[in-house]
Amino acid sequence: MLEKLTTFFRESLNVAGDIYYAGSLLGGSIKAVSKGAYSTESTDYIVLKEIFQRISLKETDVLVDVGCGKGRVINWWLKKGFKNKIYGVELNHSIASKTRIFFKNITNVSILSGDINDQIPQDATFFYLYNPFEPFITETFKKKLVTLPSAEIRVVFYNYHHNSTFDRDPDWAINKEKINIPLLGINDEVMAIIKRNF
């Protein structure tokens, strides 16, 4: 019973956040459309607040939401006043198309459709991921990051599980932190802040 109440409260907060920030429902689960990709879940608003209290973004950072879904993270960034260039990359073409329409009047936002490993923005400096794919895809993603021109690449993985590819690579520094919000049933969720060492 307590678990059901916690889930209801958590979902209610996110629905209220979607309506407040977007006037539309941006959350939910999106079924995986490709081998190696997980079904995606939207990051809770309270978790976004927790994560981005721990991270400093510069005005010059180019932000990428990998597996952006309907655009909750992007919309939250905008509502929090981020003026950065922002990309959303969504594997599901139908969802990407709808998200592109949602942001069509926002000049600093571009929504790309397809696999991040084929659509990685060359000017990107900061990536946010909610554990969207299996380790073998993460390995390819890591190799693509090394080809980017910026020397200051940072990746934030929320729900960082089963992705040891960065852990064993000396070219990347990893700081893992736990997020605990017991009232919402969020216990020991791992956030990994990953920085390129060169």
- Angle of helix 2-22 relative to helix 45-53, nearest 10 degrees, comes to 70
In Å, what is the CA distance from 193 to each residue of 4, 11, 62, 83, 109?
31, 26, 16, 22, 23
Half-sphere exposure of 89 (CA within 13 A, CB side): 18
Residue found by looking up tokens 């960065």 in the block: 166
Per-residue tens of pLDDT for the chain, all 198 residues:
778 888 888 889 999 999 988 898 887 766 666 666 666 778 999 999 999 999 999 999 999 999 999 999 999 999 999 999 999 999 999 999 999 999 999 999 999 999 999 999 999 999 999 988 888 889 999 999 999 999 899 999 998 876 678 988 999 999 999 999 988 889 999 999 999 987
Residue 72's SS3 state is helix
According to DSSP H, which parts of 23-120 are helical?
Answer: 45-53, 72-79, 93-102, 116-119
- Res 163: pLDDT: 64
Q: What is the pTM of this model?
A: 0.93
What would the two tokens of residue 56 be? 């400093």
Whole-angstrom Cα Rg for the chain: 16
Label residues 92-113 b or e (16+ Cβ within 10 Å = b).
Answer: beebbeebbebbeeeeebebbb
| Contact (CB, 8 A) for 125 and 61 | yes
pLDDT at residue 160 in the model = 87
Task: Return d(Cα 48, Cα 135) in angstroms, integer.
Answer: 24
By C-alpha distance, which of 115, 102, 91 is closest to 39?
91
- Token pair listed for 176: 């893992």
Give residue 162's pLDDT.
62
CB 96 within 8 A of CB 80: no
